[in-house]
Chain A
Amino acid sequence: MRGVRMDPEGVELAALDRLLPLTDKRLLEIGCGDGRLTRALAERAASVVAIDPNRRAIAKARRTLPRGLRGRVRFDVGRAESLPYPDGAFDAVIFSWAL
C-alpha cells in the first residue's frame, strides 16, 4: 500500500536468516500476498513457490517480480488447507502471517 512502509528495519528477514538456512532450499511461502517477502526469499533460495487466496494480490506479485528472479519463483492462487503440491516437495514452508 502506498504511504506505508513495513519493517524497513528488516527484522522479519533477520529472523528468517538466523533460524532458517535458505541457500539451495525449495521453499513454499503460504500467504505471500503481493510478494513483498517472496522477492527476498527468492534471492536466497533455490526456488520459491508462493501461494495466496487473493487473485489480485497474486496478479500484482507476478507483475512486480524482477525479471532476474522469474526462473526461480512461481505464484499460485490457492489455500493452505488444500495445497496442490506433491507430498515432500519442499524443504521448508513459511507461513507469512497466514496461519
Chain B
Amino acid sequence: MNIWQKLSSIDRRWVFLAMALFVAFPVLKPLGLPVTTTKEVEDIHSFIENLDGTKPIILGLDFGPSTAPELTPMAKALIRHSLSKGIPVLGVSLAPDAPGVANDIMKWAESELNAVMGKDIAYLGYKVGTLNVILQMGQGISKPFPKDYYGNNTDDLPIMEGVETLEDCAMVVGLEATAISDLWIQYAGDQMGVPIGIGMTAVSAPEAYVFYQSGQIVGLMGGMKGAAEYELLVNAPGAAVQGMDAQSLGHIVILVFIILGNLGYFFGTKGQEISRLKSLRDGEK
C-alpha cells in the first residue's frame, strides 16, 4: 500500500478524534472570527422591526432537544427582539418533543427579560394534528388550545385580547425541525394570508429558499449561522455566535479529509489502475 492509498484508508476513529479536537478547541477557547449577516435573516428582522406592536406574533416552537442547539438561540433572539418592541409573543408547538424545550425558553424569558407570562408571552402547549391544528387556529386559536400549557383558559389570557384567529396576529414565525414549515406556509400563509417567517435547521434550509424567493415567506434563518446572525442583529450575541468558531474549524476538518480522500483516490488506487492499464496497452504494442 503506497502513501496515497494509506491517505485514503485512515481508520475512521482517527477521523472522529480529529473532529472532536477541532470542534472542542474553539468551544474552550473562542477565536473571535467575525460573523456577517445575510439578506434573508435581515428581512425577518426588519419585518418585525416595522411591526406596530398592536398584534402578537405567533412563535411556532416546533423542535425538540435534537435540534435545540440551532433553534433555541433563534427563539431567544426573536423573543428578545419582539419584547423590546413591545410585541407580545404567543408560543405554540406542533411537534411532540417540543413542550419541554419550549417551557425552558418561556422560563428563560420570564427570568432574563422580565416577561410577564400571559401578557407579554404565553405558551399554549402542544397539540396532536399539525395540519388540523393550523386549520382550526384559522377558525379560532382557542379552539384547538382551550387551555395553555400551564392550565389557564386561553381566552382569559391578557395576550388574547382582540385576538381570535391566526389572521388577528401580526405574523407567524415557525422554528422548524421538520416539514411543519410547509404546513405553516401552505395554510397559514398562502390560504389565510398571514405573513410567515421561517427558522429551520440547516438540513432543511436549502429547500426553504424557494419559498423565500417566491415571496411566500418574509425571511429565512438557516441553522446555527442564521441564529448567530439574528443574535447580532438584536445586539445580544449568545450561544450561536459562540458556536460559529467551532463551526468554522469543523468545516475545515471535513474539507481536509475530503481532499485527502480524493488525493488518495487519484494518486493511489485510481492512479495505479491507470498505470496498470497503460503498461498493458504498451505491452500489447
Q: Do A and B bind each other?
A: no
B residues with a Cβ closer than 8 A to A are: none
A residues with a Cβ closer than 8 A to B are: none
